[in-house]
Chains A and B, each alone.
Chain A
Amino acid sequence: MVSRVTRNVAISRLWWVLCISSLVGALLVLLSLFGFVFVRGVAAIRPEIFFTVTQGIAGGLANAIVGTLLLVTLAIVLVVPVGIGAAVWVTQFAPDRLRIVVRLSIDVLFGVPSIVVGYFLYVALVETAGWGFSLVAGSLALAIIMLPYVYRAADLAFSAVPRDLVEASVALGARPLTTFVRVAFPWALPGTLTGLLIGVGIAVGETAPLIYTAGWSNYMPTLAPTHSPVGYLTYVVWTFINEPFKQSHQLAYAAAFLLMIAIFVTNFVARAGVEYWASRTRSHS
């Protein structure tokens, strides 16, 4: 007869084995995904794809790479003043009640599916305002999707500025603006930057909100704000894999590979790089 204690220990072991296998399972899925994208991606990367544009379902990716960079850059320009500005207002100026309302609306924005943002902008800007598929419509979509990430990180970072530092600055006779620029802002910068970079990672990988705002183009993007569709990498992954041609599959794999590299880099810089930089600057001051 097995004692109750032995049985309980055995049950405990069994459940923990299941838990640990779920972690191993998750890591195996991740490995399958990485392995798949890297093996196929590396095989598909040729130097020419960086210099030629897509021609129908073949050619290179130059237009998509430049398009993604343009869309994301403009989205950063749009989202930084709004996201960081709002966080500064909430943490430095806002009355309690409004503070809650702004935070709530950001929470709501976090839950809005990206396709809804995309379709809203399609209807509002592309159709009703008559902009057509365009750089600005696409970048606005990305900016709205990045906004909650940027705002939350900035809000957290500015809320975490140590009180004694601010009080010391005020006690030394600094004006409020000087205190903000010289004390609060430098302290909150690393955390804000992490949020911004994570948002950039999300934006680089977005597809759904761009399909009907930026559209797609086989040509190099022009800098025209409206009436000129823009190509981007995620579109290539989505459509070219369904074409029955080997060259188009190669382009899809290459685009997926480039996307993964871009996201690795932004994630790594966002977490490790910014932390290292922050720890250095803070220990010096």
Chain B
Amino acid sequence: MLAGVLTSVAAGICLLLVVLMLVFLLWYTWPAIRYNGLSILNDITWNIGNQYGTGSSVHNGVAAEPGAEFGGLVFLVGTLLSALLAMVFAVPLALGVALTIVYRLPERLRLPVNALIELMAGIPSVVYGLWGTIVLVPWVGNRVAPFVTHHFGFIPFLGGDAGSGNGLFAAAIVLAIMVMPIMVATVRDVLLAQPKSIFEASMALGSTSWQAVTHAVLPSVRTGIVGAILVAFGRALGETMAVLMVAGNAINILPHNIFSPINTIAAVVVSQLESAVSDASGVAQRSLAELALVLFVISLTVNTVARVAIRGQDRSH
């Protein structure tokens, strides 16, 4: 049974990989967890401390450079806000696209449209980031933001400084475009898995096609759609490069409106590592690992809930 042994080793690697990642990150992060306490979640200041100063700053027996503070609130807020706003844009769009593909598209257009949607899902993050930097950000900065802040400034979070274009709004748009194909594909499959008779029975009772969709089809796939949204949300939370390129790299400041520069956990791990490496105490690098761990746990939670939802949908038919 050599084959059985060899392949079981491969399966063991798959199994241990995630555990190893979690355990190792936890072990490596431990001093930072002790140094930062809760401030990693509720402090807005990220400061690696005075590298040329004397003495050190000690919390819970862990020493860092004087004045060092590793607050992750700005990045946590940026991560959640950008992903949530992306969902606001992406969910209606993805539902519309999926419904069109399933109920309105002529047979011969279905294959090419599906292929394009799949291609969209395969475009690299940096290419979206490049397009975002050169096409989207100037458009937001020169047209959208001045227009919105000028005419709709009375609405909270829409008024104030229009900014340069780099910020929460641009990040959310790029994220929405990036996660939309995943959502479309999942919702489309959920809709196609539903028996056609639901739609047809509703039509036969005299409803319009839109009533058939909203009153008969969508209620029966509710959990599947929630699952699709959560999978996309999980993706948006962990997306790095495109966000890094358009979000504006905010540090030590919370966004005050929808066009403010932000930063996300994923982006800050990339943009702050070089500075963190220069921290002689090493706590900065470990704090970045702690942020990565926080992101890991959030993604894990969102994905687990999504999976439960999708599985519930599968069981219902």
Q: Is residue B155 contacting chain A, with contact meaning CB distance below 8 A?
A: no
List residues of chain B with CB within 8 A of the CB of A8. Answer: 207-208, 211
Q: Which single member of A20, A105, A238 contacts B126 (CB below 8 Å)?
A: A238
- Decide: B296 and A116 in contact? CB cutoff 8 A: yes
**C-beta contact mask, A193-219 vs B, less than 8 Å → 1, else 0?**
000001001101111100110000000
- In whole angstroms, what is the CA distance A210 to B77 when docked? 26
Q: Which B-chain residue is minimally distant from A10 (CB atoms)? A: B208
- In whole angstroms, what is the CA distance A144 to B119 when docked? 22
List residues of chain B with CB within 8 A of the CB of A90. Answer: 11
Assess A22 versus B18: contact at CB under 8 Å? Given A37-B127, A111-B234, A123-B25: no
Q: Is residue A276 contacting chain B, with contact meaning CB distance below 8 A?
A: no
Q: Restricting to B16-44, which residues have a CB under 8 Å from any CB of A?
A: 17-19, 21, 24-25, 28
- Decide: B288 and A20 in contact? CB cutoff 8 A: no
Q: Which single member of B13, B92, B100, B238 contacts A116 (CB below 8 Å)?
A: B238
Q: How far is the CB of A64 from chain B (nearest CB, A)?
A: 12
Q: Is residue A75 contacting chain B, with contact meaning CB distance below 8 A?
A: no
Assess A208 versus B241: contact at CB under 8 Å? Given A16-B104, A19-B99, A81-B10: yes
Q: Is residue B47 contacting chain A, with contact meaning CB distance below 8 A?
A: no
Assess A237 versus B127: contact at CB under 8 Å? Given A22-B96, A23-B97, A86-B10: yes
List residues of chain A with CB within 8 A of the CB of B266. Answer: 113, 115, 208
- Decide: B92 and A22 in contact? CB cutoff 8 A: yes
- Decide: B18 and A237 in contact? CB cutoff 8 A: no
List residues of chain B with CB within 8 A of the CB of A201. Answer: 122
List residues of chain A with CB within 8 A of the CB of B252. Answer: none
- Decide: B115 and A271 in contact? CB cutoff 8 A: yes
Q: Which A-chain residue is minimally distant from B237 (CB atoms)? A: A113
List residues of chain B with CB within 8 A of the CB of A43. Answer: none
Q: Is residue A168 contacting chain B, with contact meaning CB distance below 8 A?
A: no
Q: How far is the CB of B176 from chain A (nearest CB, A)?
A: 10
Assess A23 versus B101: contact at CB under 8 Å? Given A111-B234, A111-B300, A115-B266: yes
Q: Is residue A137 contacting chain B, with contact meaning CB distance below 8 A?
A: no
Q: Which of B67-75, B130-138, B146-154 contacts A (4 or more CB under 8 A)?
A: B130-138
List residues of chain B with CB within 8 A of the CB of A238. Answer: 126, 129, 241, 244-245
- Decide: A111 and B210 in contact? CB cutoff 8 A: no
Q: Is residue A30 contacting chain B, with contact meaning CB distance below 8 A?
A: yes
- Decide: A271 and B238 in contact? CB cutoff 8 A: no
- Decide: A30 and B238 in contact? CB cutoff 8 A: no
Assess A207 versus B14: contact at CB under 8 Å? Given A30-B120, A115-B269, A120-B292: no
- Decide: B14 and A109 in contact? CB cutoff 8 A: yes
Q: Is residue A101 contacting chain B, with contact meaning CB distance below 8 A?
A: yes
List residues of chain A with CB within 8 A of the CB of B239. Answer: 113
List residues of chain A with CB within 8 A of the CB of B6. Answer: 85
Q: Is residue A250 contacting chain B, with contact meaning CB distance below 8 A?
A: no
Q: Is residue A171 contacting chain B, with contact meaning CB distance below 8 A?
A: no
Q: How far is the CB of A132 from chain B (nearest CB, A)?
A: 13
- In whole angstroms, what is the CA distance A106 to B11 when docked? 10
- In whole angstroms, what is the CA distance A211 to B100 when docked? 40
Q: Restricting to B292-315, which residues have a CB under 8 Å from any CB of A?
A: 292, 295-296, 299-300, 302-303, 307
- In whole angstroms, what is the CA distance A248 to B124 when docked? 20
- Decide: A123 and B24 in contact? CB cutoff 8 A: yes
Q: How far is the CB of A55 from chain B (nearest CB, A)?
A: 21
Q: How many residues of B contact A (CB 8 A)?
A: 79
List residues of chain A with CB within 8 A of the CB of B100. Answer: 16, 19-20, 22-23
- Decide: A271 and B127 in contact? CB cutoff 8 A: no
**Most interface-central of A105, A242, A271 (chain B CB within 10 A):** A105
- Decide: B292 and A116 in contact? CB cutoff 8 A: yes
Q: How far is the CB of B69 from chain A (nearest CB, A)?
A: 21
Assess A29 versus B177: contact at CB under 8 Å? Given A115-B266, A123-B28, A237-B130: yes
Q: How far is the CB of B282 from chain A (nearest CB, A)?
A: 9
Q: How far is the CB of A126 from chain B (nearest CB, A)?
A: 11
- In whole angstroms, what is the CA distance A111 to B306 when docked? 10
List residues of chain B with CB within 8 A of the CB of A115. Answer: 238, 240, 266, 269-270, 292, 295
List residues of chain B with CB within 8 A of the CB of A211. Answer: 270
Q: How far is the CB of B206 from chain A (nearest CB, A)?
A: 9
- Decide: A120 and B21 in contact? CB cutoff 8 A: yes
List residues of chain B with CB within 8 A of the CB of A18. Answer: 96
**Most interface-central of A12, A20, A105, A120 (chain B CB within 10 A):** A120
- What is the interface of chain B, defined by CB distance below 8 A to chain A? 3-4, 6-11, 13-15, 17-19, 21, 24-25, 28, 92-93, 95-97, 99-101, 104-105, 113, 115-120, 122-131, 133-135, 177, 180, 184, 207-211, 234, 237-241, 244-245, 266, 269-270, 273, 285, 288-289, 292, 295-296, 299-300, 302-303, 307
A-B contact pairs, 28 of them (CB 8 A): A12-B210, A15-B210, A16-B209, A19-B99, A22-B96, A23-B105, A33-B123, A37-B130, A86-B10, A86-B13, A98-B11, A105-B19, A108-B303, A114-B240, A116-B25, A120-B24, A120-B25, A120-B292, A123-B25, A205-B124, A207-B241, A237-B127, A238-B126, A238-B241, A238-B244, A252-B130, A259-B127, A264-B119
Q: Which 7 residue pairs across A and B have the least CB separation, nearest first?
A: A113-B238, A205-B124, A85-B10, A22-B96, A111-B303, A89-B7, A12-B210
- What is the interface of chain A, defined by CB distance below 8 A to chain B? 8-9, 11-13, 15-16, 18-23, 25-27, 29-30, 32-33, 36-37, 81-86, 88-90, 92-94, 98, 101-102, 105-117, 119-120, 122-124, 127-128, 144, 147, 151, 177, 180, 198, 201-202, 204-208, 211-212, 234, 237-238, 241-242, 252-253, 256, 259-260, 263-264, 267, 271
